[in-house]
Structure 1
């Protein structure tokens, strides 16, 4: 390996930077929480836990309903990732499916899936894309990318305000 060839550390650094830029361009955490909220909603009704010789049955009469809700939540989480322009629809649908899962799927996966879904849907609703010219960290990309406050109207510095009197 020569000193000029890119090493594993540089490739990993480049991959991390590209993943970070991808993540900043979409509601990543909203999609992840929504996706993770669907997993306990699917799993718990089909789980068959046992305690020594005692077997518990958590299945409900609407086991297929919890499967459908969980799969839809996973799809909505992926939608937030790969189609960020539809984040409002996905957020509202995730919140509504989380509320429905309380009744259909063992209290929304014993409140774990329900809470993850509500937080993920709310984050999807509130996410706003980064404006052009602004860096995702909150700073400006250059001096001319973000104009300052509006300039004062003409004559304001001399006390001339168009004949109006301030009281």
Structure 2
């Protein structure tokens, strides 16, 4: 039972930009965590208070969407990277630089991910036919 679940997760992880999405979610969570403050303070500061929530939440979404739909990795990887860089300005130095760094790393890994190529024996069979 456990080995079946592990095998399924391994196949799932290899067919999607899993690690890039995970780093992007971790960066968004870090930005969001350092942006947390009381509702009264957010209402008083206006957009400046909400911007941390928007960038952190956007980074989390940009990390989850490519895991669910791998063909969207370029779009959401780039948007997540841009949000990570924007968080430097709008949210406590991007979660004190940690959230920004994790977001940029995750966005780059998401954009750079590609589907696994078939192994050599499968390529030879494809070339011969």
| Alpha-carbon distance in 1 for matches of 2:4, 2:86 | 42
Aligned residue pairs total 119
Q: Deviations over 1:73-116 (max 9, x none)?
A: 11111111101000000110011001100000011000010000
| Alpha-carbon distance in 2 for matches of 1:18, 1:47 | 40
Q: Report which of the two structures shows the higher radius of gyration computed on alpha carbons.
A: 1
User: Which structure has the higher relative contact order (CA within 8 Å, separation 6+)?
Assistant: 2
| Alpha-carbon distance in 1 for matches of 2:27, 2:37 | 16
Which of 109, 123, 127 matches 1:146? 123
Give the match for residue 16 of structure 2.
Answer: 26
Q: Which runs of 5+ in 1 are unaligned?
A: 1-10, 49-60, 151-167
Give the match for residue 63 of structure 1.
Answer: 49
Tell me the TM-score normalized by structure 1.
Answer: 0.67
Q: Which has the higher helix share?
A: 2
Q: RMSD across aligned C-alpha pairs, in angstroms?
A: 2.0
Give the match for residue 26 of structure 2.
Answer: 36
Q: Which runs of 5+ in 2 are unaligned?
A: 39-44
